[in-house]
Amino acid sequence: MLVNEIFHSLQGEGHFSGTPAVFIRLSGCNLHCPFCDTEHEANESMDEAAIAEAAGQWKAPIAVVTGGEPALQLTATLVDALHDRGFKVCVETNGTRPLPHNVDWVTVSPKDLFLGPEAAPVLTKADELKVVYDGIHEPDTYSHIAVRYRYLQPCDTGDPVRNAAITREAADYCLAHPEWRLSLQIHKILNIK
Q: Which of 13, 16, 29, 134 is labelled catalytic?
A: 29
Please report which residue ranges of 32-131 form alpha helices under DSSP H: 48-55, 76-84, 112-115
Q: Which of 36, 41, 47, 84 is labelled catalytic?
A: 36
Cα three-residue angle 192-49-82, rounded to 5 degrees = 60
Q: Which of 7, 35, 38, 44 is labelled catalytic?
A: 38
Q: Which of 7, 16, 19, 23 is labelled catalytic?
A: 23
Q: Which of 37, 84, 159, 172 is labelled catalytic?
A: 37
Compute the chain's Rg from CA coordinates: 16
Q: Which of 5, 8, 15, 33 is labelled catalytic?
A: 33
- Residues present in the chain in total: 193
From first CA to last CA, the distance across the chain in angstroms is: 22
Residue 23 annotated in active site: yes
Residue 75 annotated in active site: no
Rounded Cα gap, residues 126 and 145, in angstroms: 7
Residue 92 annotated in active site: yes
Residue 38 annotated in active site: yes
Residue 37 annotated in active site: yes
Q: Which of 13, 40, 66, 92 is labelled catalytic?
A: 92
Cα three-residue angle 13-91-140, rounded to 5 degrees = 65
Cα three-residue angle 98-101-105, rounded to 5 degrees = 90
Q: Which residues are catalytic?
A: 23, 29, 33, 36-38, 92, 187
